[in-house]
Amino acid sequence: MRRLVFGFQNAFLRSLAVPAFALLLGVSGASAQSGAQEQKPAANAPSPADVAKDSQKKTDEFVEATNAINGPAGNPECVWLGRRVVVLMWRDDLDTAFRHLDLYDRFGCPGGHVQATFRCLVRFGALDPKVPDSLNGRVHACWINPNAQPQNASIAPGAPSLPGPAAAPAAATQPEAKPADAPK
């Protein structure tokens, strides 16, 4: 009888040992993981000097826009929302861009300035992925001066840009045909 009781206890303890061991491993792994996650943001956190420098840069950009643009498009809220709309449109996030555009309109900001800025951004073409903040810089430059032209504006406006050698118009490659009743 005594052997049956101890046998039962051993079986019961063995069945509890495996889940307890698994729980112990899971808790120790989770605590080690959370400790590692807490250390990563501290290492990547910007210094207070960097935060102050970034804040000053943003303030300077708003002041520059206010001085350069007459009217509501130079207001800080219009500059901030309008630039976000243009960036979202460039990244093909049109749903979010339209939501921001509704806010932009609600503040009384001119919608034509967003259109002109996006046109300027498209005219400049592809961005350099190696430069980390090139999109924001170009959007700001186009916001300040939407009529800016790219440096290599060798192609006439309205002319299609074709890759490879320039294609000559069809009329220039064929001789001019004379009418049948024209004197020879």
Backbone angles phi, psi at 4, to 5 degrees: -65, -40
Tokens standing for residue 88: 């979202």
For residue 55, is pLDDT > 60?
yes
In a domain, 83, yes or no: yes
In angstroms, what CA-CA distances link 73 with 88, 111, 173? 18, 9, 49
Instruction: Specify if 159 maps to a domain.
Output: no
Burial 74-112 (b: 16+ CB within 10 A, else e): bbeebbbbbbbbbbbbbeeeeeebeebbeebeeeebbee
The pTM assigned to this predicted structure is 0.54
On whether residue 100 sits in a domain, the answer given is: yes
Contact at 8 Å (CB) between 100 and 85? yes
| Residue in 68, 75, 121 with CA at minimum distance from that of residue 97 | 121
| In a domain? residue 69 | yes
Give the count of domains, the chain: 1
pLDDT of 171 reads 43
Give me 31's structure tokens.
Answer: 């605590």
**Structural domain includes residue 73:** yes
SS3 string, 101-166, reads HHHHHHCCCCHHHHHHHHHHHHHHCCCCCCCCCHHHHHHHHHHHCCCCCCCCCCCCCCCCCCCCCC
* pLDDT value at 87 more than 80: yes
pLDDT of 25 higher than 90: no
pLDDT-derived band at 174 (thresholds 50, 70, 90) equals very low
Tell me whether residue 7 is in a domain. Answer: no
- 172 falls within a domain: no
Residue 160 lies in a domain: no
Enter the DSSP assignment of 100. H
Q: Are the beta carbons of 79 and 62 closer than 8 angstroms?
A: yes
pLDDT in tens, 143-162: 999 988 877 644 444 444 44
Share of the chain above pLDDT 90, in %: 27
Residues spanned by the domain of 100: 57-144
